Structure 1
Amino acid sequence: MANATFSVPCPAGVWTPLAAGVAYATVQLQKTSVGNVQAAIATTEPAPASTEFVLLSEILATFTLAAGDVLWCMPLGAADAMVRGIGTGV
């Protein structure tokens, strides 16, 4: 897949898939909404109470994905969030 920019709404209380390693070798993410947003790389949806995540900021964070990886996001708290990304194709 080619390089791409994208925006993904992340509803509160659920993990939302953002990008898959079969399509992107690297992804840069930033949150575009108020509040904390967690991001995790996993082959399947993380557990709701998982502590294996990083917090996104307004500064782009770079994630390297393997073929079986999926990059997920979930807001912390009750508000929905928006995440913007740049994916570099495989």
Structure 2
Amino acid sequence: MADCCVRAWVTGKVQGVLFRRSTQHQALQYRLTGYAKNLPDGRVEVLLCGGPEDVKTVSEWLWKGPDGAQVTHVEFNVLDQCHAPDHFATY
């Protein structure tokens, strides 16, 4: 089980700009598991699980995102009870 899991909802121009794939790349660099998925309302939902410092680093990156993204808001929810996935997926 991961030391820390955070769920985030990223708002702005975050679909159609490789946000999910870039988030996966960032997560894998820091050995995090979880997922990034597009939501019907235009946001991207992200689950990050792993060491607290690594989760914090990638969580901060979500405010920037890849080139082409225009992030206007990120809402975070720290999860007390979370079954961390064993890989990072995009949906």
The answer to whether TM tops 0.5 is no
Q: Which has the higher contact order (CA 8 A, sep 6+)?
A: 1
* Structure with the bigger percentage of helix: 2
Q: Which has the higher strand share?
A: 1
Q: TM-score range by the shorter chain?
A: 0.3 to 0.5
